[in-house]
């Protein structure tokens, strides 16, 4: 009997309408559009506006698109795993809230927090529920409303992040398509370089923590940059090596969109030309857990059955890793 693998059979995405351009950021903090673009590759990002709207609302839109494309309903779904660092609430999980909002009454699920690697880790986790035969239809979401935790007076972080959501559907495949390998890593000693200081159990939120802006993202950009360049390039090269893939065998790299320079270093280490690299950082910035599914969403029409695809991330934690998958269908 052939091995059962988890293939991506549909992709959905959503970005909010409001565009925050580099030109507008110039009026908010001491920066220049030129600095932002040359140092990061970002020209603009999307921001979710509106009272009472959170990460789940963007995820719901991405999932609704996915269900429509696949011609199924929420009742067909067994499980929803949500990669995010900006859950609607600390508890219950955003997965619970999404199941309720879309009417996925037969599904169960949970949130998975691995910062920018959340979607990659969730994809690997979801795939295993398909491989074991426990589930037939698993939705994996990467969604973040980063504007909820960004300090728009801190020029070193507010220029980077944006809001968005992407989702993929995993289904069993017995013809060798889908997720074929994953290499996932964590190094908790890196947590000092990128985190949110207050709001958790170590430092519950108080007036003092809010006054000190400790509910926002703290990042030592250079330290993260250095670790990311090495980590993302290494793991991407290693997963190719492990699976006997030469650069000409790889059709696409789907890299986490944190900084164009990190993406270029990774592609160069893999020996890939820029035409094979999915990029949308210029439009959306760093949407944390949403970067990978938003890339798949935008490039889906260009993907062909049999394409070897490497997904690769690096983020807070530190967390990093790569997935090797073979695309299972031609787009209509
Ligand atoms: O997705 C999660 C993982 N996160 C990442 O992968 C992010 C990794 N880090 C980065 O992408 C980059 O480190 C940043 C984009 C955050 C910063 O770029 P950089 O080239 O590393 O800049 P830097 O922090 O080394 O700062 C260089 C200079 C400093 O000025 P001085 O000290 O040389 O006078 C900063 O104060 O640039 C200054 N600077 C800015 N100037 C204009 C920092 N932010 C800005 C800004 N506009 N927005």
Of 163, 10, 168, 14, nearest in space to 79 by CA: 168
Q: Does 331 fall in a domain? A: no
Distance 22 CA to ligand 1 centre (A): 15
Domain membership flag for residue 332: no
* Residue 268 counted as domain residue: yes
* Per-residue pLDDT at 2: 81
- Position 331 scores a pLDDT of 78
In a domain, 321, yes or no: yes
pLDDT at 1: 59
Residues 138 and 72 in one domain: yes
Same domain for 146 and 85: yes
Pair 162, 261 in one domain: no
What is the predicted pLDDT for the residue at 138?
98
Of 22, 135, 286, 295, the catalytic one is 286
Average pLDDT, the chain: 97
Do 54 and 190 sit in the same domain of this protein?
Answer: no
> Domain boundary at 176, 201, 224, which?
176
**Spacing, Cα 220 to ligand 1 middle (Å):** 9
Q: Are residues 186 and 143 in the same domain?
A: no
The proportion of the chain whose per-residue pLDDT surpasses 70, expressed as a percent, equals 99
CATH number at residue 51: 3.40.47.10
Q: What is the pLDDT of residue 314?
A: 98
> How many angstroms does the Cα of residue 318 sit away from the middle of ligand 1?
18
Q: Are residues 135 and 200 in the same domain?
A: no
Residue 73 placed within a domain: yes
Q: Are 210 and 234 part of one and the same domain? A: yes
223, 292: one domain:
yes
Annotation says 286 is catalytic: yes
271 plus 284 within the same structural domain: yes
Q: Could you report the per-residue pLDDT of 4-16, keeping only the tens digit for each?
A: 999 999 999 999 9
Contact between residue 98 and residue 63 where contact means Cβ atoms under 8 Å apart: yes
Last residue of a domain, one of 160, 176, 192: 176
116 catalytic residue (yes or no): yes
Tell me the pLDDT tens digit for each residue of 245-304.
Answer: 999 999 999 999 999 999 999 999 999 999 999 999 999 999 999 999 999 999 999 999
Rounded to the nearest 5 degrees, what angle is found at the Cα of 9, between the Cα atoms of 14 and 284? 25
Residue 125: domain span: 5-176
Q: CA–CA distance from 207 to each of 88, 90, 199, 202 (Å)? A: 21, 18, 11, 15
H/E stretch holding 129:
helix 118-131
Instruction: Specify whether 139 is located in the same domain as 203.
Output: no
186: CA distance to ligand 1 center in Å?
A: 24
Is 169 found in the same domain as 43?
A: yes
Residue nearest to atom 28 of ligand 1 (CA): 156
Q: Which residues line ligand 1 (CB under 6 A)?
A: 31, 35-36, 39-40, 116, 155-156, 159-160, 221-222, 224-225, 228, 258-259, 262, 286, 315-316
Domain boundary among 114, 144, 176: 176
Q: What total of structural domains would you count in the chain? A: 2
The segments of the chain whose pLDDT lies below 70 read 1, 332
Strand pairing class (308-315; 252-255) = parallel
Atom of ligand 1 nearest to the CA of 259: 11
Tokens linked to 198 = 């207050």
Would 236 be classed as within a structural domain? yes
The three-class DSSP label of residue 33 is helix
If asked whether residues 169 and 187 sit together in one domain, one would say: no
Identify the pLDDT of residue 131: 98
Q: Is residue 23 part of a domain?
A: yes
CA neighbor of 280 nearest in space, from 311, 303, 265, 258:
258
Q: Which of 229, 259, 262 to mutate to test the pocket of ligand 1 (most atoms within 8 A of CB)?
A: 259
Predicted pLDDT of residue 124: 98
* Cβ-based neighbours of 316, under 8 Å, separated by 6 or more: 85, 115, 116, 190, 191, 193, 194, 195, 224
Active site residue 215: no
């Amino acid at each position: 009997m052939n091995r059962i693998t988890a293939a991506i059979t549909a992709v959905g995405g959503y970005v909010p309408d409001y565009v925050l351009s580099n030109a507008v950021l110039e009026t908010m903090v001491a920066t220049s559009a030129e600095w932002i673009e040359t140092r990061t590759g970002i020209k603009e990002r999307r921001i979710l506006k509106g009272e009472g709207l959170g990460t789940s609302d963007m995820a719901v839109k991405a999932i609704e698109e996915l269900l429509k494309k696949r011609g199924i309903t929420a009742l067909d779904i067994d499980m929803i795993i949500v990669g995010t660092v900006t859950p609607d609430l600390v508890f219950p999980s955003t997965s619970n809230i999404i199941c309720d909002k879309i009417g996925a009454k037969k599904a169960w699920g949970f949130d998975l927090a691995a910062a920018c690697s959340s979607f990659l880790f969730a994809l690997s986790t979801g795939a295993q529920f398909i491989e074991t035969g426990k589930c037939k239809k698993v939705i994996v979401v990467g969604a973040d409303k980063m504007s909820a935790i960004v300090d728009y007076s801190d020029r070193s972080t507010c220029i980077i992040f944006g809001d968005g959501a992407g989702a993929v559907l995993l289904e069993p495949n017995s013809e060798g398509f889908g997720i074929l390998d994953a290499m996932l890593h964590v190094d908790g000693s890196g947590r000092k370089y990128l985190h949110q200081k207050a709001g958790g159990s170590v430092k519950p939120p108080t007036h003092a923590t809010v006054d000190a802006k400790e509910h926002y993202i703290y990042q030592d950009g250079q330290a993260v940059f250095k670790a990311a360049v090495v980590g993302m390039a290494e793991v991407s090269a290693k997963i190719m090596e492990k699976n006997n893939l030469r650069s000409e065998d790889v059709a696409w790299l789907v890299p986490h969109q944190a900084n164009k320079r990190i993406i270029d270093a990774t592609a160069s280490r893999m020996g890939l030309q820029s035409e094979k690299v999915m990029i949308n950082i210029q439009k959306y910035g760093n949407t944390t857990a949403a970067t990978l599914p938003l890339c798949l969403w935008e490039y889906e029409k260009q993907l062909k059955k049999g394409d070897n695809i490497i997904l690769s991330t690096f983020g807070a934690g530190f967390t990093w890793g790569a997935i090797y998958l073979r695309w299972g269908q031609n787009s209509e």
